Every structure is written in structure tokens, then in C-alpha cells.
Amino acid sequence: MSTRIGVIDYGGGNLRNVLNVLKHLGHEGLLVSSPGDLDGLDRLVFPGVGSFGDCVAELDRRDLRAPLVDWVAADQPYFGICLGYQVLFERSSESPGAKGLGVFGGEVVKFPEDRGLKIPHMGWNQVEPADRDFHVWEGSPDPLYLYFVHSYFPVPEDASLVASTTEYGVRFASSIQKGNTFAGQFHPERSQEAGLQLMRNFLAAKE
């Protein structure tokens, strides 16, 4: 039986590129825009492009907040990309007052503007895994370079969540992992073969 992969559709995001990558890897992504669309899925991918506040407002409008929190809490496979990583946290300085999913404690903050950094952080940068034996990194290049486009990044309260770090003026948590949840600030769908390998590993992992 084929794996059923849901792709969160909140009216924004990088849906087409992610769907194309899944198709390239031999899978048909199924769009999730309402709670019922989660029924029968095996894995979930949350691609993200846009603002934190607009994203969580749209998730609320589509009644997806509670089902997404429940999905992660049940340790069902989840791959968050960029904004799909950020919304797992409680809040973001990008959108004061907007409430994230709050699956993990912490805040999404902006790169410091007093260090001469070009913001957004855009382009290829090195991702340094905390544990090379973690299955998502299997078969990936060393050193590993992935593609980024972002001005904000999460600061997890629990340092044990951090699956990789990246340096851009500051060293930040470029990905996290807990159980079957993996989420990163980079865009695997824009990262050529290195990104494809991460997606392959996520799709092939045993729960």
C-alpha cells in the first residue's frame, strides 16, 4: 500500500514546488485544507512562505490548529519547512499577539540588524547536524549546504530539540527533531540533491 502524504494548504506556502518534489520521489502529495483531509494520512509536510501571523490566522480559519497540534502530539510523522517550522512555537516577533501552535516552547526572532547582515538571509549556507546518525541526515553530503530564505528563526526553550545549527551573524537552530517530528528553516525543495535526500529519508523512515 502506498504512503499517503498530506501537504498543508493554508492559502500560501511553496505548495507547487513541494508537490513536484514529492512526485519526483514517486509520491502523490494530497492537499490538506480542512480537518477531514487529515484522515488516513501517513505523513504530513508543512511548507511555508509568508508571514507568521497570516499563516496562523488562516490555520484558525480552516480549523486546522487543533488537528495539527494533535498530529504532532501523537508523534505522527511531520516535516515542517521554513514557516512550517516557525509555527510550531508559541509566538513570533514578526507578528506580535499572534499565537503559534505552541507545540514547543520558544519564540521566533529576527536576525539582529546591528551586525551588518543582509536580511533576509538568502542563499546557500552550511547546516551542521547535531547527530549525524539521525535518519534524516543519512546519505547527505558532509559538509551539508542547504538553501535558506528567511528573516526570522526560532529559539527553542529546550536545547535538546536542536537537530542542526547554522551560522549567519549568530548561530541559530536551523532544525529541530523530536520523535517523528522534524522541522527546519531551510528549503529542501530548493536545495537540489541534498534537499531531495532529506525528503527521501523522511518518507522512507519507519515510525
Please give the C-alpha separations between residue 101 and each of 28, 68, 177, in angstroms, as whole numbers: 27, 8, 16
* Residue 121 bears catalytic tag: no
Q: Catalytic: which of 82, 107, 193, 207?
A: 82
What is the rounded CA–CA span in Å between residue 58 and residue 37? 16
Question: In the chain, where does DSSP find H-type helix?
Answer: 15-24, 52-61, 65-73, 83-86, 192-204
Please give the C-alpha separations between residue 41 and each of 24, 76, 149, 174, in angstroms, as whole numbers: 19, 9, 29, 27
CB 80 within 8 A of CB 133: no
* Residue 90 bears catalytic tag: no
Q: Catalytic: which of 27, 55, 121, 189?
A: 189
CB 197 within 8 A of CB 24: no
Q: Catalytic: which of 27, 121, 150, 187?
A: 187
Q: Which three cell numbers stand for residue 146?
A: 542547504
* Residue 82 bears catalytic tag: yes
Q: Provide the annotated active-site residues.
A: 82, 187, 189
